[in-house]
Amino acid sequence: MPETIGSLLLKRLHNLSLHHIFGIPGDYVLTLYKLIEESPIQHIGTTREDCAGFAADAYARVHGIGGVCVTYCVGGLNIVNATACAYAERSPVVVLSGSPGAAERIQNPFLHHMVRDHTTQREVFDKVTVASVILDDPVTAEQEIDRALEALRRYKRPIYLEIPRDKVLTPVEPQSLTSAQEMECLSDPAALKEAVTEVRAILADAERPVILAGAEIYRFGIQHDLRQLVERMNAPIATTLLGKSVIQEDHPLYIGVYGGLVGREEVLAFVDQADCLLTLGTVLTDIDDVKVHSRLLASGRTIHATADAIIIKHHRYDGVRFEDFVRALSSTPLPAFPSRPLPKQDPRLFEEPSSSTPVTLRSLFGHLDSLLTKNHLVIADVGESLFASADLHVHQSAEFLSPAYYTSMGFSVPAALGAGLADPSKRIVVLVGDGAFQMTGTELSSCARNGQTPIVIVLNNHGYTTEREILEGSFNDLQEWRYEQICGLIGGGIGLLIRTYGELVKGLQSAMGDEKNIYVLNVFLDPADRSTAMTRVAQRLAKRLT
């Protein structure tokens, strides 16, 4: 049979190892859905389109590419926020959308789901993707698909592909099939060599270098190269909150999460005393607030490398790819530095309370930290779920996921679906506030349907705690849900109400030991309880405002 636009697209995606695609069907995309059903790619239905986007995002963070397929406008525009999150945090998600057929647009300019005109949805996605294409021409379809997929691979950010429903089964023109080759953009060898030489010269004059690593390290799959660089230089390494777990946190040179708002004081002080800073794959945000970067930049002692640019001192190397740069550093002879005292890692030791004591954030995260192994993957939503997680210890690279920069509430439960399918060897542990759970907690039904058994810990502090910390008001209150009863609603899993430390210990023991069931732990917390990290955030924000 001749290759069609739809079948060619799905073949390309499967060749890039996309094995699952998330979404909700609609009339403009049903033909494409039928092709998906007949392809090696498995469709995973979700309860909402934005949940499909979060699931695809998490799948991409773990697996290297994710995909979502939705209908026109009512589905597509519902997924814009999740796509924006993936764009902001560099997650390679393919967004597929159906749209009205080319022929029916001529007959009737006003079609259901349409907003303003037929190009509105594509114009919206132009702002949150690195490539947006309408596949309506069988002569150019293949080149457009390949161009968009190359942008996905190169920049690790979302792309948007729209197919009018009467073009899905249109055969691709034979002459275009000769150009189906993956483009490989390589670094300029001379520029790469010069960049590495300049790094070597800066390090030769340094005594206290520090490496600050971010999420792009595992987006590009270069965790091993980072570790090799750290060990060859014998250089201390911190990570941003978004980049937490890009290196094993039990590594002897790892000093913790650096972030102007969330980092421990001893980590901030150590990094701020560096005389040379290598920031690799980091997006420096107000959460990170890397003050030392500005000081060292002025003195010509910074190396800042991301997928967007390689900047050394005041020089920019446009012809050098980020992953090639890190690999070159890891394999090139660079100065090795004497060992020096490092900040002590927070052991998260706490005095174990009596079993009848009400659960606190400290006892919850302290006990959970003692249970985590290399077989767990932690997904933290925003708020206390994220801030308290900053001090958890994960044991292998890429075992922690969170929208720590974009901070969109509701990420974690649908992300558990995506991450669990991407890596079935991991037991997913979800940390989610009651507010975030009320947004997307229904996605547990998709987990049950697809054999996923996450452990979901609902931090039930009866409202929006982060907002309360900024400005108190009744607008931060929530209707109280019986979260532990959702398992009965979705037809699978075990729900537990947790009020005391003894109930927490028993509940987590049951959940960790039972991989056949979803667990939802409704953990009652005092609304005034704050994690150590949240307290740090509040105190530092207060200083900014005074």
What's the burial of 482, exposed, middle or buried (CB within 10 Å: 0-12/13-18/19+)? exposed
Share of the chain above pLDDT 70, in %: 89
Enumerate the β-bridge partners of residue 495: 520
Length of the chain counted residue by residue: 546
Alpha-carbon distance of 452 to 253, in angstroms, equals: 35
- Secondary structure of the chain: what % helix, strand, coil (to 5)? 40, 15, 40
State residue 177's pLDDT score.
47
Average pLDDT over residues 483-490: 95
pLDDT at residue 40 greater than cutoff 70: yes
Q: In Å, how far are 188, 356, 462, 485, 524 from 512, measured between CA atoms?
A: 50, 22, 26, 19, 20
Please check whether residue 419 is in contact with residue 62, taking contact to mean a CB–CB distance below 8 angstroms: yes
- Cα–Cα distance measured from residue 96 to residue 29, given in angstroms and rounded to the nearest whole number: 9
Work out the pLDDT band at 289, boundaries 50, 70, 90.
low
> Does the structure show a pLDDT above 70 at 299?
no
Contact 355, 500 (CB under 8 A): yes
The arithmetic mean of pLDDT across residues 405-425, rounded, is 95
pLDDT number for residue 264: 82
Task: Tell me how far apart the alpha carbons of residues 546 and 542 are, in angstroms, rounded to a whole number.
Answer: 6
DSSP, collapsed to helix, strand or coil, labels residue 326 as helix
The answer on pLDDT for 523 being more than 80 is: yes
Expressed in angstroms, the distance from the first to the final Cα of the chain is 70
With 0-12 CB in 10 A as exposed, 13-18 as middle and 19+ as buried, what is 245?
A: buried
User: Got the DSSP string for 103-153?
Assistant: HHHHH-S--TT-BSBTTHHHHHHHTT-SEEEE---TTTHHHHHHHHHHHHH
DSSP 382: S
Query: Looking at 266-270, 338-342, 443-447, which range is the least confident one?
Result: 266-270
- Reported as a single tens digit per residue, the pLDDT across 353-411 is 999 999 999 999 999 999 999 999 999 999 889 988 888 888 776 689 999 888 899 99
Is residue 182 classed exposed, middle or buried when 0-12, 13-18 and 19+ CB atoms within 10 A define those classes? Answer: exposed
Distance CA 271, CA 212 (A): 9
Could you tell me if 65 and 96 are in contact, meaning their C-beta atoms sit under 8 angstroms apart?
A: no
Name the 3-class secondary structure at 476: helix
Q: How far is CA 77 from the centre of its chain?
A: 20
Its pTM stands at 0.91
For residue 178, what pLDDT band results from cuts at 50, 70 and 90?
Answer: very low
pLDDT digits (tens, 9 = 90+) for 193-251: 999 999 999 999 999 999 999 999 999 999 999 999 999 999 999 999 889 999 988 89
Cα–Cα distances in angstroms (integers) from residue 5 to residues 18, 70, 82, 97, 101, in the given order: 17, 17, 26, 13, 14
What confidence tier does 112 reach under pLDDT thresholds 50, 70, 90? confident
Whole-number Å distance between alpha carbons of 534 and 62 = 27
DSSP string, 516-539: TS-EEEEEE--TT---HHHHHHHH
Reported as a single tens digit per residue, the pLDDT across 117-156 is 778 899 999 999 999 999 999 999 999 999 999 999 999 9
* Non-local CB neighbours of 380 within 8 Å, separated by 6+ positions: 386, 389, 400, 401, 402, 412, 431, 432
Q: What is the rounded distance in angstroms from the CA atom of residue 185 to the CA atom of residue 320?
A: 10
C-beta neighbour count of 128 within 10 angstroms: 21
Output the pLDDT for position 272. 86
Indicate the pLDDT class of residue 50, thresholds 50, 70 and 90.
Answer: very high
Residue of 470 and 455 predicted with greater confidence: 455
Question: For residue 429, which of 508, 534, 539, 314 has the smallest C-alpha distance?
Answer: 508
- Stretch 37-46: mean pLDDT, rounded? 97
Q: What is the pLDDT of residue 347?
A: 56
Give which of 276, 293, 266 is closest to 208, Cα–Cα.
276
* Residues 494/451, Cβ–Cβ less than 8 Å: no
State the residue for tokens 């924006």. Answer: 84
Question: DSSP of 206-235, one letter per residue?
Answer: -SSEEEEE-THHHHTT-HHHHHHHHHHHT-
Average pLDDT over the chain reads 89
CA distances from 74 to 70, 243, 317 (A): 9, 33, 42
Domains, the chain, ranges and CATH?
5-179 (3.40.50.970), 189-331 (3.40.50.1220), 361-543 (3.40.50.970)
Please name the helix (run of DSSP H) or strand (run of DSSP E) that holds residue 427, with its range, or none.
strand 427-433
Q: pLDDT at position 479, please?
A: 85
* pLDDT confidence band for 22 (50 / 70 / 90): very high
Distance (Å, rounded) from C-alpha 51 to C-alpha 277? 38
Taking residue 353's Cβ as centre, other Cβ atoms within 10 Å add up to 18
Q: Binning pLDDT at 50, 70 and 90, where does residue 440 land?
A: very high
Instruction: Select the highest-mean-pLDDT range: 262-276, 284-298, 339-353.
Output: 262-276
In this structure, of 72-76, 174-178, 463-467, the range with the lowest mean pLDDT score is 174-178
Residue type present at position 387: F
Question: C-alpha distances in angstroms, 321 versus 148, 223, 307?
Answer: 18, 16, 7
Give the per-residue pLDDT at 285. 63
Angstrom distances, CA of residue 132 to CA of 27, 53, 90, 149, 368:
22, 16, 16, 10, 43
Least confident of 49-63, 100-114, 118-132, 261-275: 100-114
